[in-house]
Chains A and B, each alone.
Chain A
Amino acid sequence: MIWLTWRQFRVQAAVVFGLLAALALGLAVTGPGLAGDYRDGLAGCGSGEACDRFRQHFFSGHQVQLVLLSAAVLLVPAVVGLFWGAPLVAREIEGGTHRLAWGQTVSRRRWLAVKLAMAGTAAAAAGGAATLAVSWWSEPLFKAGAGNASRLEPALFASHGVAPAGYALFSFVLGVAAGLLFRRTLIAMAATLAVFAALQFAIPLLVRPHLMTPVRADIPITRDTVGGLYSNGPGGPVHVEARTPAGAWVLSRGVVDARGRSVDAIPLKLDAGACAPDPSRMGPKDSCFQQMAQMGYRLRLGYHPGSRFWTFQWIEIGVFALLTAALTGFCFWRIRRLS
């Protein structure tokens, strides 16, 4: 059975792992250069503010690559579910070859178990390999962009840590289950894609933020805690946004007044008075922040700190392990009833 599974699976496996190898090769070639650029830049930037600027520049200069690579990592589970999982049983049923396979001296249960075990291991390995390669390559970017890029942000969270391996295994079993349910490869592929995509949107938006209680903090307004100031037109009230704590995944940000009520904006002006522009530097004068603080305004943040990354990863993989186990159970239940 192992031989047959391998014989039927090898082409699909070769395609996916071939693409992954090409990706890894590209990263291996460019990775050391990227890390070197970062090291050299830090060594040559001198003062604190200049180094901050370098980090900012370095991060934003490679942000596109990071987004693309994260997308590539997320693509692995989708591909594995669509092209390994969905056809696994559905293609046999379409071709009638399941009758041939089950006519041999091998029970359906064993037939399915070997296929799930072998291709499932490959799926998890593919997801793991992709995320490992990309995490290694993008390490300097996270060092540089600690303030801007949180690995807890949905797109980065899904493509780093252990989650992608779990997604890949889940997506593969999802494909198999869809194939067993619909008995048609194309329908199974469509269903797999729909469910997997829906989960990738629903979980970060609706589920993950609530898996742990977010930190709620009221922060005094100072030059360091404010990330941005703006007003809609000259003379309008000032909107203030809190600076994101390093590595944090911010769920909500706002401003509260002295009595703790949420306010939309602070009744000051950016073109006159305390908040008039400071000719000697970027942004308003220090008096602006002092004035706001004196009026009793504070910044309110709800967020998950970056240190929770691994906790969230393990919770996530636990959830997906449960889903995968349930789908596997369904597969074995369903194959007995398949006619």
Chain B
Amino acid sequence: MTAAVRTRGLGKRYGRRWALTDCTLDVPAGRVVGLVGPNGAGKTTLLNMVVGQLAPTSGTIEVLGGAPGGGAAQLAKVGYVAQETPTYAGLTVAEHLRLGAKLNPRWDDAVARRRIERLGLDPAKKAGRLSGGQRAQLALTLGIAKRPELLVLDEPVAALDPLARREFLQGLMEAAAEHDLSVLLSSHLVSDLERVCDHLIMLLEARVRVAGDIDDLLAEHLLLTGPRRDPADLPAGQHVVSASHTDRQSTLLVRTTEPVHDPAWSVDRVGLEDIVLAYMTGGDRRPALEVIS
């Protein structure tokens, strides 16, 4: 399997602040990959470097085997729906398609027109008069009809209501399946990504916290509940992600590839959202959150 994006020690510094540090990743090709993290975690910085609109301060990055933004051939292979799904307010829907056709050698006009028609967008309407959801769909149409190999989307649904959100993600899924696209999609909401992604990368405070297939993440993370004990006493294969204690009880989220045999624990599976939340709040770099219940 080839990697759509491969980074080694990638970092970006703005002034004295590192927006992203020591990022080493292999984003698989042909998959829908979610990039999750709180605001300011470095998601946009990483995506801008993937599409070649930002140069790294340190480390290396390779996208579809080439240097990001390096020449027309590379630009043609990567589609980008930037944050807040920008469109030209003064240009009509049809003019946006014309823009796409003029600026992209691999432009697929039939796909673009079909999508616009199915979405019910009036080609003569200016983009500035579209709703947020429609504008996002227009931006997505430009990204898809460019016929890239990798489509990068930066928080495309952040400003959309739940219905528009669902429609947008559905459209994205259909296009990904139809055109055999690799997709890299960021969001600060796990629930958006859980529906559509099969691989997840989590950024926290400018670092990669977790990366893996969602099925593996779900299988490997277990919630252990039992009498109070020190997390340091756990077997070597069990890594504590977060821990909370009451006077008598301990609740631990652990990552392990082996089954838990200790009869003192009651073992539960947890959802993706809880796993991500556990990494954000717990972990080894922050004190565990005390939960009183």
Decide yes or no whether B100 CB sits under 8 A from chain A: yes
Given contact pairs A1-B102, A8-B88, A107-B75, A100 touches B142 in the complex (Cβ within 8 A)? yes
Given contact pairs A105-B104, A105-B146, A339-B53, A100 touches B98 in the complex (Cβ within 8 A)? no
Contact B87 A97, beta carbon cutoff 8 Å: yes
Decide yes or no whether B267 CB sits under 8 A from chain A: no
Contact B82 A3, beta carbon cutoff 8 Å: no
Given contact pairs A4-B103, A103-B79, A339 touches B48 in the complex (Cβ within 8 A)? yes
Looking at A7, A11, A103, A107, the one whose CB has the most chain B CB atoms below 10 A away is A103
Give the chain A neighbours of B55 by CB distance below 8 A.
Answer: 337, 339
Decide yes or no whether B264 CB sits under 8 A from chain A: no
Decide yes or no whether B277 CB sits under 8 A from chain A: no
- Closest chain B residue to A11, Cβ basis: B90
A-B contact count (CB 8 A): 72
List CB contacts (< 8 Å) of B29-67 with chain A: 48, 51, 53-55
CB distance from B215 to the nearest CB of A (A): 31
Complex formed: what's the CA distance from A337 to B82 in Å?
18
Give the chain A neighbours of B279 by CB distance below 8 A.
Answer: none
Contact A104 B82, beta carbon cutoff 8 Å: no
Candidates A99, A105, A106; contact of B83 at CB < 8 Å: A99
- Closest chain A residue to B81, Cβ basis: A103
Give the chain A neighbours of B9 by CB distance below 8 A.
Answer: none
CB distance from B206 to the nearest CB of A (A): 16
User: How many residues in B have their beta carbons less than 8 Å from beta carbons of A?
Assistant: 35
CB distance from A15 to the nearest CB of B (A): 14
Contact B106 A99, beta carbon cutoff 8 Å: no
Give the chain A neighbours of B82 by CB distance below 8 A.
Answer: 96, 99-100, 103
Candidates B75, B95, B142; contact of A106 at CB < 8 Å: B75
- Closest chain B residue to A2, Cβ basis: B102
Give the chain A neighbours of B139 by CB distance below 8 A.
Answer: 100
List CB contacts (< 8 Å) of A274-293 with chain B: none
Contact B83 A96, beta carbon cutoff 8 Å: yes
Contact B103 A95, beta carbon cutoff 8 Å: no
Give the chain A neighbours of B142 by CB distance below 8 A.
Answer: 100, 103-104
Complex formed: what's the CA distance from A240 to B82 in Å?
73
Decide yes or no whether A102 CB sits under 8 A from chain B: yes
Complex formed: what's the CA distance from A105 to B104 in Å?
5
CB distance from A145 to the nearest CB of B (A): 47
Give the chain A neighbours of B81 by CB distance below 8 A.
Answer: 103
Interface flags, B1-26, vs A, CB<8A=1, else 0: 00000000000000000000000000
Given contact pairs A3-B98, A7-B91, A339-B54, A106 touches B103 in the complex (Cβ within 8 A)? yes
Decide yes or no whether B177 CB sits under 8 A from chain A: no
Interface flags, B86-101, vs A, CB<8A=1, else 0: 1111110001001110
Complex formed: what's the CA distance from A117 to B13 in Å?
34
- Closest chain B residue to A102, Cβ basis: B53
Interface flags, A1-26, vs B, CB<8A=1, else 0: 10110011001000000000000000
Complex formed: what's the CA distance from A105 to B102 in Å?
9
Contact A104 B75, beta carbon cutoff 8 Å: yes
Interface flags, A290-319, vs B, CB<8A=1, else 0: 000000000000000000000000000000
Give the chain B neighbours of A102 by CB distance below 8 A.
Answer: 53
List CB contacts (< 8 Å) of A89-125 with chain B: 95-97, 99-100, 102-107
Give the chain B neighbours of A106 by CB distance below 8 A.
Answer: 72, 75, 103
Binding site for B on A (CB under 8 A): 1, 3-4, 7-8, 11, 95-97, 99-100, 102-107, 337, 339
Binding site for A on B (CB under 8 A): 48, 51, 53-55, 69, 71-72, 75-76, 79-84, 86-91, 95, 98-100, 102-106, 139, 142-143, 146
| New A-B pairs, 9, CB < 8 Å, besides A99-B83, A106-B103 | A3-B98, A3-B99, A7-B91, A8-B90, A96-B84, A99-B82, A103-B53, A103-B81, A339-B55
Listed by A's residue number, 18 A-B pairs whose Cβ atoms lie within 8 Å are A3-B102, A96-B83, A96-B86, A97-B86, A97-B87, A99-B86, A100-B82, A100-B87, A100-B139, A102-B53, A103-B142, A104-B100, A105-B75, A105-B105, A105-B146, A106-B75, A107-B75, A339-B48
